[in-house]
Each structure stands twice: as C-alpha cells, then as structure tokens.
Structure 1
Amino acid sequence: MNNFDFRSTLRHGIAIPAHPLALTAQRKLDERRQRALARYYIAAGVGGLAVGVHTTQFAIRDPRVGLFRPVLELAKEEMDRAGRPLVCIGGICGGTPQAVAEAEMLRDLGYHAGLLSLGALRVGTEEEMIEHCRTVAQVLPVVGFYLQPSVGGRVLPYAFWRRFAEIENIVAIKMAPFNRYQTLDVVRAVIEAGRDDIALYTGNDDNIVADFLTPYRYGGKERRIIGGLLGHWSVWTQRAVELLEKCRNANATPELLRLGIEVTDSNAAFFDAANAFHGCIAGLHEVLRRQGLLEGLWCLDEHESLSLGQREEIDRVYAAYPHLNDDVFVAEHRDEWMR
C-alpha cells in the first residue's frame, strides 16, 4: 500500500462519500458509531473517504469543540485497516494561515489530498484566491471545490478556474455549484488548460447521473466526469457505488435518465431543498438513524435539525424508490461494524 498511486485512482473515477459526524445526545463524539460509519462505507465498496468537510460539520474546528484532529485520526485508522488502498481526503478551510496549518496536519496524518474550501475568501479578489490555492498546494495535493453560494460558497467565473487549473499540484476538482452553467465553466477551463491529469468529480447532488452520462467536448478534446465526492453518498452508499459503475462511460438511456431523476428526488428530501438546504445534514443523519448507524440526529449546532415536513419527505422517497436504499446490507453487517 505504500506504493499506492492515489492520483491514478482518482483519474479512474471512484465513489467518495463525505463522512458525517456521529454524536451522543450530549453532543460529544460517539467514537463507536463514528468508526462504524467508516466501516460501513468501506464495506460498501467506496474508493475513498472525505473527512472534515461540510457533511462532517465545519464546527469541529472550533477550539471549544476540538474534534477536527480526532475525527481525522479515527477515519484514517479505519481506512488503514481496510485491507485495500483508499484515497484519503481531508477538508481544508479558513484563511491562508489556517488552511496551510490544516494541510500540514493532513499531510502529517497521511492523507493524500485536501478538499479546499474558499468560503473564508468570499470577498477576496481572484488574485488573492489563486495565491491562496497555490500556497496550500505547495503543502499538499489539492482537490478544488466549487461550492454553491446557498451553503457558503461563491460564484467563481471561468477565468478563475482557468488559472486554478494551471496550479501544478491540483489533482481533482469537485464541482458542486448545483448549476449547469457554472459546472461547464470548470470543465471547459480544465480542458482548455490541457490538464488531462486533473480528475473531474461531481458534487452536484441534484444532477449526479446526468453528470456521469454527459460527454463534454471543447476544441476537439472530450472529457467526462468520472467520479463523485458527495454528501448524498454518505447514505445508501452501497447503491451509490453500484450507480457509479452502472454509469461509467455509459450512454444516456431512458432507464438511466429516469434513475437520475429518482436519485435527485431522493436528494431533495435528504438535503431539504424545499427549505434552502437548512436540514441537509440532519436529513442524512435521519437516514443513518433509521438504519441504526446513528443514535440520533444531533448536530454540533443545537438549532440544526430537520425542517418541518422533511421527515415526511424522507418517508415518501423511501416508499417511492425502495431499490435505491441499502437497508438490507446495513442490517446484515451493522453489528460487526459496531464492535
């Protein structure tokens, strides 16, 4: 495993769930369930994990919470025990000093790359953002992150992504603007920069299947989105791994397009799209609670929970799309993951 070529694995295309945070009713880390979640994802066949990202709750970095390093360490321990190599990705946030410190921590813990959030630079200039990214990439390989504005991101134009794609140590980009125009900006920038080594990953939880099925062609060159790094894939994960394989290099068919709508409809319930994504983390927790992997819906922010009617929406998609859940798989193995 010491010779694991994580860059090649990323370019092949893998399923990477964003790892949630398991808490007790006292909002303290539930280590047993935190480990169980990682074991679930690994058993489901994922190619890697993303830890310390939005789904893990950014507040783990608060010194009063003090969970950033412990959560990263737990996930790394479980990935190291997997018996097969996995791509280890950690979230990186904050201004440049904080981002560099987090990149150094990830490097020291043995993580392969950092998913770089630009949320702290929402009013920064393009030049400041590019210099920030370049500085972090000198410490650790970087996965770029286009985060939708409704949950803390900002609109990043083609010109930014074209310059970003020229940074040497960029290994992938997660596109999650939930916007087709903005997704196209990223793909075109990477193609026109000639960066065949940058892997394109969807984070567009509202358009997962269509992202995989679409060939993007500019200037005679064609690229495809070949993997997913998704909060949505922290639930029903075995089915997500199967979905990626079904869509790999596939042509669009009525069956796959219909499946894509079913996945998007499920995501609308989990992510609470009807209420501007207010309950997006709690919605994922609710699915994991129903499966017995989490004890409750608790988030670090006591005001963060399901929106009115969201539980009923989750009931609806469970009933409408029983072929999308992996409840039987979880029930068969949950006890061993909990040990």
Structure 2
Amino acid sequence: MDWKQTLLEGVAIPAHPLALTADRKLDERRQRGLTRYYLAAGAGGVAVGVHTTQFAIHDANVGLYRPVLELAREEWRARGAIGIAGIVGDTGQAVSEAEYAAGLGYHSGLVSLAALSGRDEDALIEHVSQVSRAIPVFGFYLQPAVGGRVLSHAFWRRFLEIENVVAIKIAPFNRYQTLDVVRALALSGRQNDIALYTGNDDNIVLDLLTAFEVEGRTIRIRGGLLGHWSVWTKSSVRLLAESHDLARQDAPIPAKWLARAQQVTDANAAFFDAANGFRGCIAGLHEVLRRQGLLAGTWCWDPHEQLSPGQAEEIDRVYRQYPEWNDDVFVAEHRDEWLRP
C-alpha cells in the first residue's frame, strides 16, 4: 500500500476511543472490536492514542499507551489500513513515543503541542522537527477550548518546511485559523505531498466541500481525522465518498448538502456536549457506542468525565431527527463478529 498517496487522496480516520471495564481496566475484546468496526465500515485508517483515546493513557503510571497501540496495530495492519499514533508530552517523551510507534509500524504521528503551551513558536518548530526524525508527522491544530493554542500563519509556513510532515489535522473550530493553515499550504507549494484533514467538528461537511482558491492554487481538505467519526462511522465514510464524487464532477453543489452540513453539526453538538463547553465529549461518544453494544458502558479513565445533564436526551433527539445518519443496523449485523475474542 502506498499509504502516503492514500492519505493524499483522502480517507476517513476515526479517532479511536478507549474501551474500559467498569473497574477502569482495559477491555481488550471491546478495544479490538472497535477497531474492527471502523475498518469494516470503510475507514481508511485509525488514529490511536489521541484525544478521544484519552490523553491519560500517555502517563507512564497508567501504562496503557503501548498496549492500546499494539492492539490496534494488529487489526489495521492485517487490513492494509493506515495507522496514526497520538504523540504528546515534552520533547523527550514525544520522541520516545514516536520511536515506539514507528517501531510498531505506525505510519505517522499526530503531534499534540499542548504540553508546550508556555513555549514560543521557535521552540514548537524545533520540537516537531525532532519528532519528525523518528516518524512522519501529522500536524495538529487543536482548539484552545480543549487544550490547544492559537498558532500564527507564520508558524504554519515554517511548519510546512519540515521535510517529514505528511499531513495536518485542522481543528481550531475557527474559520480564520483554518484559513491560516490552508493559505500556508498553498504558499508552501507542497500541496501535492501534504494532505489537509478536517478536525473541525463544527464544520465537517463544508470543509470537505470547499475548494479554497489561493493565488492561483486550489486547495482541498481531503479527509477527516475526527472523534465524531468514531460513531456512526459507516455513514461518515459514505459522506466522505460522496463529497469526493462532487469534487471530481466540479459541478454546482446541490442545496441538500447545506442541509446535511447543519445536520452533521447538530449531531456533533449532542455527541460532543457543545452546550457545556465539551465537558461530556468523550462520554457522549461512548454513550452512542454503548447503545450499539460495542462498549459495555460510558466509563472514562477519569471518573469525573461523564455525560452532562441533558446530554443523553440530546443524543436521543438527534437519533430521532436524523435517522439516516446512524449505522445501528450495520453494527447489529456484525457486532458479534467484531467482538469475538
């Protein structure tokens, strides 16, 4: 598999949740089952050890980073998919994680800069450069509401000069900052070897539909690396494929896509608990997977991470309003197969 070309063409990459038992131990059977679900649904890869997997697993005292990456690796490698490993921490930890992930065969590392929040942009570039010597880098523009920071257009221009950068996940939930990254890629001249992926959960569909015109160059966001796509995944894969068809046709976008865009954002608001500052974002995804029988409960590593008051009712509402987006029938048909030991 030419994984870099596949990444450039654009695939759906769910941000992989963490399956725990009621006593907060790794549920290996359900962890494997989730990976099997995503790949059977048509995802082109999985991102493991990222925000949706819960950053606590990177703590050496928790000890879950390595086993979680190993379990997923066995599944995605057998199916010829792309493996993305979450990379966090200061430079020493980040390089160590990158080396470990690369040793397992992971194709790229999604590099979080949250641990360097007090450092200037020169330090961030040096950090990413060092990580890139261990593994191809998938950049990550994370929204400030969940631990990210605002990064300048100049930062992204310099970031794109790092040779071993292969993609950027754009997730600031901000159109101005999204455009900073798009414009930086256009001006870098590297649009043929670096892929843009949406992480803007409030604008998934419009990100995928938009042809960004920058100084005579057309830039497209090719795929998504999204926690949102860890639920109702088969429908998300279909959405991405249809958006690619529209792009190839280069025809006017049907009005129904504007309605779809708002439906997906509305569903995301329920799953991610936007009404409460995203406090229930991971538990909300777990709740959908619990209803489908893929998870046994909504337990997070931190017992305080739970559904917010009224969030379950919001999930009920989007199930009622948008029945065409769930993939419950598909999951019910194959769940026992995916959950086999």
Query: What SS is found at the alignment partner of 1:248?
Result: helix
1:275 is displaced (CA, Å) by 0.3
Equivalent positions of 1:266-285 (< 5 A) are 266-285=267-286
Q: Is the 8 A contact 2:84 2:107 kept in 1?
A: yes
Unaligned 5+ segments in structure 2 are 247-251
**Among 60, 63, 72, the residue aligned to 2:60:** 63
Q: d(CA) in 1 for partners of 2:245 and 2:331?
A: 29
Match of 2:46 in 1: 49
Equivalent positions of 1:23-172 (< 5 A) are 23-82=20-79, 85-172=80-167
For residues 227-259 of structure 1, the C-alpha deviation after alignment (integer angstroms, 9 at most, x for no partner) is 000000000000000000111152432111100
Letter in 1 for 2:255: P
Q: d(CA) in 2 for partners of 1:42 and 1:218?
A: 35
Query: What SS is found at the alignment partner of 2:20?
Result: coil
Q: d(CA) in 1 for partners of 2:132 and 2:231?
A: 30
1:80 is displaced (CA, Å) by 2.2
Match of 1:293 in 2: 294
Query: What SS is found at the alignment partner of 1:172?
Result: strand
Q: d(CA) in 2 for partners of 1:160 and 1:63?
A: 31
**Among 203, 208, 215, the residue aligned to 2:204:** 208
Q: d(CA) in 2 for partners of 1:245 and 1:182?
A: 26
Unaligned 5+ segments in structure 1 are none
Query: What SS is found at the alignment partner of 2:337?
Result: helix
Q: Is the 8 A contact 2:109 2:136 kept in 1?
A: yes
Identity %: 67
Q: d(CA) in 2 for partners of 1:97 and 1:63?
A: 13
Letter in 2 for 1:133: V
Q: d(CA) in 1 for partners of 2:43 and 2:59?
A: 29
Q: d(CA) in 2 for partners of 1:178 and 1:257?
A: 18
Number of residue pairs aligned between Structure 1 and Structure 2? 334
Q: d(CA) in 2 for partners of 1:39 and 1:138?
A: 31
Q: d(CA) in 2 for partners of 1:133 and 1:335?
A: 41
Q: Is the 8 A contact 1:213 1:249 kept in 2?
A: no
1:79 is displaced (CA, Å) by 1.1
Letter in 2 for 1:223: I
Q: Is the 8 A contact 2:58 2:88 kept in 1?
A: no
Query: What SS is found at the alignment partner of 2:86?
Result: strand
Q: Does 1:237 align with 2:238?
A: no
Q: Is the 8 A contact 1:72 1:90 kept in 2?
A: yes
Over aligned residues, Cα RMSD in angstroms?
A: 0.7
**Among 18, 21, 31, the residue aligned to 2:18:** 21
Q: TM-score with structure 1 length normalisation?
A: 0.97
Query: What SS is found at the alignment partner of 2:307?
Result: coil
Q: d(CA) in 2 for partners of 1:68 and 1:274?
A: 30
Letter in 2 for 1:299: C
Q: TM-score with structure 2 length normalisation?
A: 0.97
Q: d(CA) in 2 for partners of 1:63 and 1:176?
A: 27
For residues 111-148 of structure 1, the C-alpha deviation after alignment (integer angstroms, 9 at most, x for no partner) is 00000000011111110001111111111100000000
